[in-house]
Amino acid sequence: MKVLNKKELLISIAFCIFVFLISFFTLNNFVTNAMNESNEEQLLKANKQNIELGKVKIETVLDNKLDIFIENLLESGAVGSNNIDDEKIIELITYFRKENFIQIMGVIVDNKEIFLNENNERISIDQKTIYAILAEERSIFKYSINEEDYLVIKNTISNYDEHNITTVYLHKDKSINKDLHIPVYTESGYSYVVNDNGNGIFYSTKDMSEIRLDNVLDTILSYSEENSDEVNKFKLDMLNKKSGIIKYEGLRGKIWMAYSPMGYEDLYLCTVIPEHVVDDNVDEIENLNSISNKVIIVDIILIFGFLKFVEIDRRKKVNKILNLDPITNGNSYKKFNEELKKVYKKKEAKAIYMAIDLDNFKLVNTVLGKECGDQVLKKIYEILEFHIGNNGCYCRKEADEFLAYYEYQNDEDVEHIVNIICESIRHIILPQNHILVPSIGICYMNNKDRLVESLEVNAIIAKKKSKHKINVFYSYFKDSNLYEMIDNKSILDDMNRAIINKEFRLVYQPKFDAKTQKVVGAEALIRWTKPDNSTVYPNEFIPIAEKTGFITFIDSYVFKLVCEKQAKWMEKGYDIVPISVNISREKLKDENFIYEYLKIIGNAGIEKEYVQLEITEGDTYSYENVNTNIVDVIKDAGFNVSIDDFGVGYSSLTMLKDIHGDVLKLDRSFVIDESSSGKSMLKYIIKIAKIFNYKVVAEGVETEAQYNFLKEDCDEIQGYYFSKPLEEEEFIDKYLSNLEINQPIS
């Protein structure tokens, strides 16, 4: 056997050390790259998950505001076929700019522009800029005016009464709304929205965001010439509508930026993370690698084993961060969904899925502060933890939205767990005697044919149903709820078009003097006929309008139409009578509506005595956010107030002395009650109403017997006994041109 001499031994040792070092550093580099790739995948995935959130926020904050303003502009009559009312447009811009914190806002009608600045001063925009704004195909873009960069947001309606109307917002500060901020990567990163040229549209309002955007690409290049390759990669990916990640030198060190197309015009969402934040997740492995560099590792298998152990440990730490909610320190949304999928696979398990939130959490945060709000969220999580325990799982998704599933034995368990959660939330003690109002939507998980992702959607739909109930805090999902929601959305879209296309019309049901039988007034009732001559009945669209708040637009539409009709009839020389219109509960929640009505009737040029406002009696007492003195507000403005449907809902006789109305309309249920006790009650109510100087109107009178019983005590009669609701032409022919006595129906 040959013995190696000293020189050969040294060469062999040196070769072994060289091979070992090459292998070691190759392995080390491989591990580092693998960790970087893992972090890149997580960052790119997080960026893509935020795309829909960003898209929804942009549409909500920008598009919806423009749509609302356009609706108000068209409804105001500021733009007509023969005129453009500058004063009305300026008034609308002033109000809308102030309410939505818009810096500069304007309206371009054909080639005429009206712009107001933040001081509500009318400013001039040069024609070159106007033409450029109108010619731009995008609705969100950047444009330079007087050497200052502005974010331009616009919306255009073509051929409205032979006019082209464009609404424009101009902002110098691209962080135009805090609602557009999209937090990422456990709040350590920040986000930008740019177009495909790299021009900044919005940016995060966080103090750490270092780019105050002109052009992201130019800004990155300004940090270092070495960033050019990364910028070129970014440009190429945007050209091909691709997602990706670049790493560049920033002001404070290395920066990672993920970018993905938003699917909204040409916008990209960019998520930016300082590299030190990414590195924090792998500090331990780098420290151990540093130690291992100083120690001779004799067994390569131990190296692989050690690195595998560290990778598992790192994943556990990452998972711990991802699985914990930062406010409640409980389950995260991700952890909840993982547990949900496990139980959903168990065919024998019986469970319910719950979506929970608070109707008044925004008020708690605003009045009592965010710290108190966070304590409320922690207590709700503790309630779920205590009552559900090991029989399910629960989490806070975001804001005050909680999700839970609960495995039950029988139906009584379901009722018990839902009721006890509701009551526990309602008994959380808050300063200033605030009471929490929960809403819970419940979806049974027993139909395993459903996609697991549909459970949350269905529970949220049910939760929305519970918000429309009084003293009922939860609702169960039914398949019909989903179809109803789709139908409601379709009808709501149709109602928007109907307002613009003037598909709504009015019919008039006359009111008669109880003794002389002369016409002394009428009630305006809305009807809807579509362009295809199909009819949508009030009981089909009014409830949906009330749920969505669209009823306030219908209220204004009817009031304005009645004022215009009265002015037109008066101009033609007809003997007009007061017409009453209904005011919905939603309209009453904002008592400033009275200023809108005063302006409408002032523009029509008629006296307030010819338009009477009807309020359902329960709306003044039974509903939250309705001022109990609203009747006084309306009367102080000069209108007569009629209390409609008396006898349904609140129906306390004490309210007659408290709300100071002018007319009391007895509900039909009183009129048709033929019993002796019913008739006695009716006479007693009329007598009390007379004491408080109410004029009494009986509605729903259909027979001669009913009329004969009521005519001595009531002031006015309304119902089919005298007349059904009439189309405009028939109402004019019968009653306005000649107010003769109307004979009873024989």
Residue 292 inside a domain? The answer is no
Of the two residues 265 and 627, the one the predictor is more confident about is 265
Residue 203 has pLDDT above 70, yes or no: no
Residue 344 inside a domain? The answer is yes
Residue 225 has pLDDT above 90, yes or no: no
Residue 5 inside a domain? The answer is no
Q: How many domains does the chain have?
A: 4
Q: Pairing mode, if any, of strands 611-616 and 112-116?
A: unpaired
Q: For all residues of the chain together, what is the average pLDDT?
A: 80
What is the full DSSP assignment across 112-142? EEEEE-TTS-EE---HHHHHHHHH---SEEE
pLDDT per residue over 30-39, tens digit each? 555 555 556 6
Residue 439 inside a domain? The answer is yes
pLDDT per residue over 152-182, tens digit each? 888 888 777 778 888 888 877 554 545 455 5
Say what the pLDDT of residue 721 is. Answer: 93
Pair 352, 442 in one domain:
yes
Residue 321 inside a domain? The answer is no
* HEC readout, 512-571: EECCCCCEEEEEEEEEEECCCCCEECHHHHHHHHHHHCCHHHHHHHHHHHHHHHHHHHHH
Residue 82 inside a domain? The answer is yes
For 61-75, 151-165, 284-298, which range has the lowest pLDDT when averaged over its residues?
284-298
Pair 253, 189 in one domain:
yes
* HEC readout, 469-481: CCCCCEEECCHHH
Q: What is the pTM of this model?
A: 0.43
Q: What CATH number does the domain containing 53 carry? A: 3.30.450.20
Q: What CATH number does the domain containing 146 carry? A: 3.30.450
Of 171, 196, 220, the residue that ends a domain is 171
pLDDT per residue over 674-714, tens digit each? 888 888 888 888 998 898 899 999 999 999 999 999 998 99
Q: For residue 56, what pLDDT band results from cuts at 50, 70 and 90?
A: low
The answer to whether residues 611 and 581 touch, using CB atoms and an 8 Å cutoff, is yes
Pair 676, 529 in one domain:
yes
pLDDT per residue over 575-610, tens digit each? 999 999 999 988 888 888 999 999 999 999 999 999
What does the pLDDT average to over 638-666?
A: 76
Pair 607, 631 in one domain:
yes
The answer to whether residues 113 and 120 touch, using CB atoms and an 8 Å cutoff, is no
Angle among Cα 625, 376, 436 to the nearest 5 degrees reads 30
Pair 392, 429 in one domain:
yes
Pair 546, 631 in one domain:
yes
Residue 627 has pLDDT above 80, yes or no: no
pLDDT per residue over 119-130, tens digit each? 888 888 888 888
pLDDT per residue over 646-659, tens digit each? 765 444 566 777 77
Residue 527 has pLDDT above 90, yes or no: yes
Pair 439, 496 in one domain:
no
Pair 259, 202 in one domain:
yes
pLDDT per residue over 323-375, tens digit each? 899 999 999 999 999 999 888 877 677 899 999 999 878 878 877 889 999 99
Residue 212 has pLDDT above 80, yes or no: no
Residue 556 has pLDDT above 80, yes or no: yes
Of 237, 253, 280, the residue that ends a domain is 280
Q: Pairing mode, if any, of strands 200-203 and 244-250?
A: unpaired
Pair 167, 205 in one domain:
no
Of 280, 309, 344, the residue that ends a domain is 280
Pair 558, 695 in one domain:
yes
Pair 444, 564 in one domain:
no
pLDDT per residue over 306-321, tens digit each? 656 666 766 666 666 7
Distance CA 251, CA 148 (A): 25
Residue 585's domain comprises: 486-734
Of the two residues 140 and 174, the one the predictor is more confident about is 140
Say what the pLDDT of residue 468 is. Answer: 57
Residue 302 inside a domain? The answer is no
Of the two residues 50 and 28, the one the predictor is more confident about is 50
Q: What CATH number does the domain containing 402 carry? A: 3.30.70.270
Distance CA 736, CA 518 (A): 11
Residue 533 inside a domain? The answer is yes
Find, among 326, 41, 58, 321, the residue nearest to 192 by Cα.
Answer: 58
Q: What CATH number does the domain containing 585 carry? A: 3.20.20.450
Any idea which residue has 């031994």 for tokens? 9
Pair 435, 491 in one domain:
no
Q: For residue 302, what pLDDT band results from cuts at 50, 70 and 90?
A: low
